[in-house]
Amino acid sequence: MALRLEEKKAVVAEVSEVAAQAHSAIASEYCGLTVADMTELRKRARDSQVYLRVVKNTLARRALEGTDYACMSEGLVGPLLLAFSLEEPGSAARVIRDFSKEHEQLKPKLVAVEGNLYGSEELERLASLPTKEQAISMLMSVMKAPVEKLARTLAEPHAKLVRTFAAVRDQKQQAA
């Protein structure tokens, strides 16, 4: 079904607005996926705060102009599915990676992060980035470690003194 000019402009504006706010973008071939598979993929994407859209390549090129993802324009060839991470840089990569493991028909082609274009081999590295909660917990553990070590170090002389008294007591009880 052909889109009218107004519909095309609306699609370009919507994708452009999403691309301007996105942290990363993935373009994947989806040939061979059934409607049920695409519905499942869209559900997973919604759950992960990922914008997923099948757009004609000419409209996608126009939508990506002036955004960090303009670098993807030359690689937009064939039937492609665009996935934009809205919350975390790795969320779209995780959705595409996990779904492509179950469905070989979904093949990642382009990965873009902050204006840099990468090949599909970088998908795994992007998908392995920690989530926001994981990154915060890692930061907190790094910040907390020196304080804990200082507390243990300051408490050690007292603990050593108590262990020494206990050893002397035990020796006196054995001797008696």
- Domain boundaries along the sequence of the chain: 5-129, 130-176
pLDDT given for residue 1 in this prediction: 56
pLDDT in tens, 135-155: 888 888 888 888 888 888 888
B/e letters for 18-37, b = 16+ CB within 10 Å, e = fewer, are: bbeebbbbbbbbbeebeeeb
pLDDT given for residue 23 in this prediction: 87
Q: List, in order, residues 6 or more apart from 14 with CB less than 8 Å away.
A: 53, 63
pLDDT in tens, 67-101: 888 888 888 888 889 999 888 888 888 999 999 88
Using CA atoms, how far apart are residues 124 and 127, in angstroms rounded to an integer? 5
CATH code for residues 5-129? 3.30.70.1730
pLDDT in tens, 18-70: 888 888 899 999 888 889 999 999 999 889 889 998 888 888 888 888 888 88
pTM attached to this predicted model: 0.73
Handedness of CA 124, 129, 131, 132 (dihedral sign): negative
pLDDT given for residue 152 in this prediction: 84
* DSSP single-letter state for residue 50: E
pLDDT given for residue 40 in this prediction: 92
